[in-house]
Amino acid sequence: MKETSKRFDDRAAMAIFAKGAIDAATLLSAPERIVPLVRQMCRDKARLTLEQRHLYSYSKTCRDSRDALYAAMHWIIEGQRPDGGIAAYYSLLSGYAESYPEVTGYIVPTLYDFENVIGDGWAKAAAERATAWLLTLQMPTGAFPAGLAGTSAGPSVFNTGQILFGLSRAYAETHRSEILNAARRAGDWLISSQDANGAWSGPASYQGRSHTYYSMVAWALADLSRHCEDDRYAIAAIRHLDWALTHFQPSGWIDGINLQGHPNYLHFIAYAIQGVLECGVLCGRSDAVEHAATTARVLLRKFETNKFLCGSYDDDFSSGQRFTCVTGNAQMSCVWLRLYLETDDVRYLNAALKLNEFIKRLMPRAGRGMAGGIPGSYPIWGRYQPLRYISWGAKFFADALMLEQRAKNSFESIETEALACAS
Amino acid sequence: MRIVILAPGVYSETSCAVAVQLAESGYVPSGALALSTVNWQTLLRKIGQTGLREVMRYGTAKLVLSRPAQAGKLFNPYLQSFLSSDVLFRNLQQVSRYYDFPLTSCRSQNDVTAIEQLKDWNPDLLIFTGGNLLREEVLAIPRLGVLNVHLGLLPEVRGMNSPEWSLLQNVPVGITIHFMDAGIDTGPIVGRYELPDRGGCLSLVDLRNRLIAFGIAKLVEAVAALDRQAARPIPQSRADRKEQFFVMHEWLQARAAERLASNLRATAQWVAQA
């Protein structure tokens, strides 16, 4: 077993090295990217050297949240390719990547949410283009493929689940029957691929193994059930939720993230929490919300005391790596804000406000492919998606900023009610 | 009783007021240990905490201007009565000279020289008025323990920004005098007191200043009670210790300030109606 794992690690390392070599060769063919690359690396190095993190860090507003939201959404729409899909990332070495079906799928709800903020049709048009492209990718089985556009990959449980978010939301916004049919077919395929114990571990699962962060898929099924009023999807979601909850440890650690050749990136830990929390809320499972809150509180304490969440954690949060996974930070902000809205515990809102300030500071204000973008890692050369501005990072940060506004409105409405009662 | 004061710096008004009040009550400190004034880490932290402009204003008033008119101004006006009985004390050096107790400075209250100095003074009681998180080695030095004034009611509001969190959590605003242990505000409670005139507070700064002054008065009473062996510290239960509050983001601080202002308006209305 150890031998297999070692071989897998070696292969993963070789693949990363080969990808790096190709990217470096691409950089030589586009020398105009050298200056932004060097500038960003110097900026992060200087920040790392000079920055003094302390208990008061990030407690002041450095950039208006609305301004940051517009920047992130502008970055996302700038990354929309002619086919309608959203580019996976902007690499400082090789520029924009191909469209990424998975991310395009779950950016659709973000685009519609942003449309509700601005209301000028700009984001709605982008969401409709993205949905039209996604419909062309669905396989006869109802599944959606893994990987980037044009890679002719096989079906993927996780990507199908993530795309399902977009289809469900697009149906809710447009009431078009072909979108609902596509969503139902995707949901039916997910149910048919589910193991008896509620997990997904077949060939369409990443590395052929079950993963607790597939709770995101359960959330997508619960969401579909709500939109099309079909309990079969909610039942499948609850089966997975029950399986995932058995992996939560009393310490808050979540077993079964199960990625061979990769550390437990914060991105995946946050996925597992988000999926369980949101699925728990939709299915009325307070035990799931409490489990998610336990893990969220461990990370909240780590952030508040160190003003830093590690890019990845060893089992049981025993140690962490020195870079941070910025996407994971944005996801944790979403988790804390949702927990605030569910529990009215202002400490979650407080931590999320500060975490959003931290992320805003990492958002470049200028540069093609960079302005408004969210880096994979901080520093930019960190292990998670190095030297890239990633579309799912921008998506989660935009979600966090819109949730921040919702939470602030909620806080103020409670305040107004309390004051009215007092007077 | 041998008392030693731990101060965050020689220019701390709170530390000066504590030392003066103790001395005036018959408990002249056996010594005071202050953190070095010029400490770039503290400076950066203060800039992050209050902003560059406030740090420059504070530094200018404390270090540069020495005219009596400037010296007569205190950052916390409620400490005026504590600090200006016969003379106005501007720093801990003046207090230590006036009441004749030794004052030394250190880079950290946990470093070896600081610990040696504290052991040398052999205190019954350490009084913490600010500085580092204390290690167990320091906490174990005094016979009775290390006493702290927390600007919130324990165990409800543990941690940072306690007055602001009290306002947001609808917990009465007050202070707690407690012994320090390895946790954050988790040690045995000597006494907890609600601020009697919260309705008159004009701002969060005003509230904090009033709480500090109120806390110093209660601290001196607590020291006297401990000396008479009339105080019975009550340990906090494990359940009480689990939650903690952290530094508050400025958006929430603004909401806490609004809540305080609405209290002030309500009090004014009530007074007008009465």
Which of A400-404, B41-45, B126-130 has the lowest average pLDDT?
B41-45
| Residue type (1 letter), A256 | G
Question: Could you tell me if B223 and B250 lie in one domain?
Answer: yes
pLDDT at residue A32, rounded to an integer: 82
The pLDDT-based confidence of A420 (bands split at 50, 70, 90) is: low
Torsion of CA A151, A157, A160, A161, to 10 degrees: -140
Nearest to B250 among A59, A347, A408 (CB): A59
pLDDT at residue B70, rounded to an integer: 52
Whether B43 and B33 have beta carbons less than 8 Å apart is answered as no
Question: Could you tell me if B182 and B117 lie in one domain?
Answer: no
Question: Could you tell me if B4 and B136 lie in one domain?
Answer: yes
Residue A22: how many CB atoms within 10 A of its CB?
12
pLDDT at residue B57, rounded to an integer: 75
β partners of residue B105 = B34
Ordered structural domains, chain A, with CATH: 2-422 (1.50.10.10)
Selection from B194, B174, B170 nearest residue B255 by Cα? B170
Which domain covers residue B102, as residue numbers?
Answer: 1-143
pLDDT at residue B72, rounded to an integer: 58
Q: Which residues of A touch B169 (CB under 8 A)?
A: 346
Question: Could you tell me if B182 and B247 lie in one domain?
Answer: yes
Identify the domain boundary among B98, B114, B143: B143
Whether A210 and A199 have beta carbons less than 8 Å apart is answered as yes
pLDDT at residue B75, rounded to an integer: 79
A304 touches chain B (CB under 8 A): yes
Say if B202 falls within a structural domain. no
Question: Could you tell me if B78 and B193 lie in one domain?
Answer: no
Say if B204 falls within a structural domain. no
Q: Which residues of A touch B41 (CB under 8 A)?
A: 52
The pLDDT-based confidence of A21 (bands split at 50, 70, 90) is: confident
End-to-end Cα spacing for chain B: 48
Question: Could you tell me if B94 and B173 lie in one domain?
Answer: no
Whether B42 and B109 have beta carbons less than 8 Å apart is answered as no
Mark yes or no for CB contact A61/B251 under 8 Å.
yes
Say if B265 falls within a structural domain. yes
Provide the ipTM: 0.90
B41 touches chain A (CB under 8 A): yes
Question: Could you tell me if B4 and B139 lie in one domain?
Answer: yes
Nearest CA in chain A to B44: A52
Question: Could you tell me if B136 and B217 lie in one domain?
Answer: no
Question: Could you tell me if B11 and B109 lie in one domain?
Answer: yes
Nearest-angstrom CA–CA distance, A304 and A394: 23
Could you identify the residue written with the tokens 């946050």?
Answer: A270
Say if B205 falls within a structural domain. no
Q: Is the pLDDT of residue A8 over 50?
A: no
Question: Could you tell me if B168 and B104 lie in one domain?
Answer: no
Question: Could you tell me if B115 and B22 lie in one domain?
Answer: yes
Mark yes or no for CB contact B250/A61 under 8 Å.
yes
pLDDT at residue A81, rounded to an integer: 95
- What value does the mean pLDDT of chain B take? 86
Nearest to B250 among A52, A60, A419 (CB): A60
Say if B243 falls within a structural domain. yes
Whether A271 and A211 have beta carbons less than 8 Å apart is answered as no
Identify the domain boundary among B99, B124, B143: B143
Which of A20-29, A127-136, A370-379 has the lowest average pLDDT?
A20-29
Say if B207 falls within a structural domain. no
**Which positions ≥6 away from A27 have C-beta within 8 Å?**
A33, A34, A37, A93, A94
Mark yes or no for CB contact A52/B41 under 8 Å.
yes
Nearest-angstrom CA–CA distance, A269 and A248: 11
A70 touches chain B (CB under 8 A): no
The pLDDT-based confidence of A137 (bands split at 50, 70, 90) is: very high
Q: Is the pLDDT of residue B234 over 80?
A: yes
Q: Looking at the 3D structure of chain B, how many domains does it have?
A: 2
Burial of A28 (C-beta count, 10 Å sphere; 0-12/13-18/19+): exposed
Say if B24 falls within a structural domain. yes
Tens of pLDDT, residue by residue over B16-62, are 999 999 999 999 999 999 998 666 766 776 776 677 777 777 777 66
Q: Is the pLDDT of residue A58 over 60?
A: yes
Could you identify the residue written with the tokens 């289809």?
Answer: A167
Mark yes or no for CB contact B249/A52 under 8 Å.
no
Say if B27 falls within a structural domain. yes
Nearest to B255 among A301, A305, A415 (CB): A415
Task: Please count the residues of chain A.
Answer: 423
Question: Could you tell me if B48 and B96 lie in one domain?
Answer: yes
B183 touches chain A (CB under 8 A): no
Determine how β-strand A377-378 pairs with β-strand A324-325: antiparallel
Q: For the domain that residue B245 is a member of, what is the CATH number?
A: 3.40.50.170
Q: Which residues of A touch B45 (CB under 8 A)?
A: 52, 54-56
pLDDT at residue A2, rounded to an integer: 45
Could you identify the residue written with the tokens 């931290």?
Answer: A358
**Which positions ≥6 away from A117 have C-beta within 8 Å?**
A69, A402, A405
For the record, the structure tokens of A388 come out as: 């890239």
Instruction: Tell me how far the alpha carbon of residue B234 is from its chain's centroid.
Output: 21
pLDDT at residue A10, rounded to an integer: 59
Whether A314 and A302 have beta carbons less than 8 Å apart is answered as no
Helix axes A286-306, A326-343, angle to 10 degrees: 130
Mark yes or no for CB contact A56/B45 under 8 Å.
yes
Q: Which residues of A touch B162 (CB under 8 A)?
A: none
Q: Which residues of B97-119 are buried (b: 16+ CB within 10 A; e: fewer)?
A: eeeebebebbebbbeeebbebbe
Nearest-angstrom CA–CA distance, B9 and B228: 30
